[in-house]
Amino acid sequence: MKRLTSWVESANNPDTDFPLNNLPYGVFSTDEGPRCGVAIGDLIVDLCLLEEEGVVLISGEPVLDAPFFNEMMELGPKVWAELRARLTDLLILDGDDALSGDPDLLARALISQEDATMHLPIVVTEFTDFYSNRHHATNVGTMFRGAENALPPNWLHMPIGYNGRASTVVISETEIRRPWGQLKPPGQDMPYFGPSKRLDMELELGTILGTGVKMGQPVSVAEADQMIFGYVLLNDWSARDIQAWEYQPLGPFQSKAFATSISAWIVTAAALEPFRTEAEAREKPLLPYLCETKPMLYDISLEMDLTPDGDEQPTTIARTNYKEMYYSAAQQLCHHTIGGCQMNTGDLLGSGTISGPEPQSQGSMLELSLGGKQPLTLTNGQQRAFLEDGDTVTMSGHAQGPNYRVGFGHCSGKIAAAIAQPDWSK
């Protein structure tokens, strides 16, 4: 697909994450409260205002006057397409001049991204995190269980996941507090209570459900694909020492529940459509319900930087691509429903850590440092086996088109020291 030209000049820069081909949705605030917007170049278009003024009308009732996109998303794919088409017509060069030709409305509706504070773009109703990248699963499984048992017997047959906490999904730039928990060092008979010493990040893509399905009604992979509204960058922060002690037999719990960060802008499935790509060949045939009818992955380049406290020079510690996934978001969603699980508008599904085959393409510190045995050397000469207080992790990603890119912005979080130990006698 060729680059679309907008009358917003910054949207035509080939290096912007937000050309007219993208049009990602986010919730922002300035002097007023949080409201719905769409990014174009270095600006935000106030969708709430355009709806109030009658320039954008997609429903009999206002749906863009809330500080989240859930109400609009639940109207379904037809409305999503209508809104995207209307915004494209308003923002394309020589299109409808209802916005560009009205100086007063233009002055009120266009906001610099630098002047805006971003908020969660949806009410996160549920959060499930998957474990669907073969490189990551093999690397971590080897560390935890040995090479001969790296992949569980079921891994090549279905997407594995666990239910996380929607309550601790936070927007990019939110400070991440180092968690407390039970820790049991190798060779010790008893655990002790303390702050995590092996704090990690996980480079993921988050899937946002636009429509749901009732309890007891499974959906196919093709149907699941139509339910997906869009995607965000996702960092599922992990306390590896807490995880190693607690994860058997039921999997992660406190080691993952303390924080999950997502990027501010929802890149729609429609914007990513030109970048679909095939999954790798299956080592074992999938059961029919998981078979795909068309390519379901996307060619999205991903990058992860680490910046120590007080340092202005980040170190790029990983580069990978979403096409390295073994299971697609549609397959994950399909599998989520097969037993009758209800899915809701605003549900968030984490892809699982996205790692590639090369050492520098691995999406977690656990892999990059070989479980802490080979610390990374940063640009400033410091070393890291795991994250230290004051470290900032920043993730970014984009799909590359001809002379344009469909980008996600960034997903960032800074590690803060653990709170003082509570007084348990109270």
Catalytic residues: 136
Estimate to the nearest angstrom the gap between the alpha carbon of 87 and the chain centroid.
24
The amino acid present at 77, given as its one-letter code, is P
Q: 158 near 290, Cβ under 8 Å?
A: yes
249 preceded by a cis bond (ω within 30 of 0): yes
- Tokens, residue 395: 């993730």
Bridge partners, residue 239, by sequence: 199
207 sits in which H/E element: strand 203-209
Bridge partners, residue 209, by sequence: 228
Distance, in Å, from the CA atom of 124 to the CA atom of 393, rounded to the nearest integer, reads: 22
Q: 206 near 349, Cβ under 8 Å?
A: yes
What DSSP designation does 191 have?
Answer: -
Ramachandran region, residue 82 (left: φ > 0; alpha: ψ -120 to 50; beta: rest): alpha
Q: 100 near 73, Cβ under 8 Å?
A: no
Q: 205 near 353, Cβ under 8 Å?
A: no
What DSSP designation does 92 have?
Answer: B
Question: b/e string for 46-57 if b means 16 or more Cβ within 10 A?
Answer: bbbbbbebebbe
Distance, in Å, from the CA atom of 251 to the CA atom of 336, rounded to the nearest integer, reads: 17
Estimate to the nearest angstrom the gap between the alpha carbon of 301 and the chain centroid.
13
Distance, in Å, from the CA atom of 145 to the CA atom of 165, rounded to the nearest integer, reads: 26
DSSP code per residue over 245-268: HH-TTT--SHHHHT-EEE-S-BEE
- Tokens, residue 232: 């965000």
Q: 272 near 169, Cβ under 8 Å?
A: no
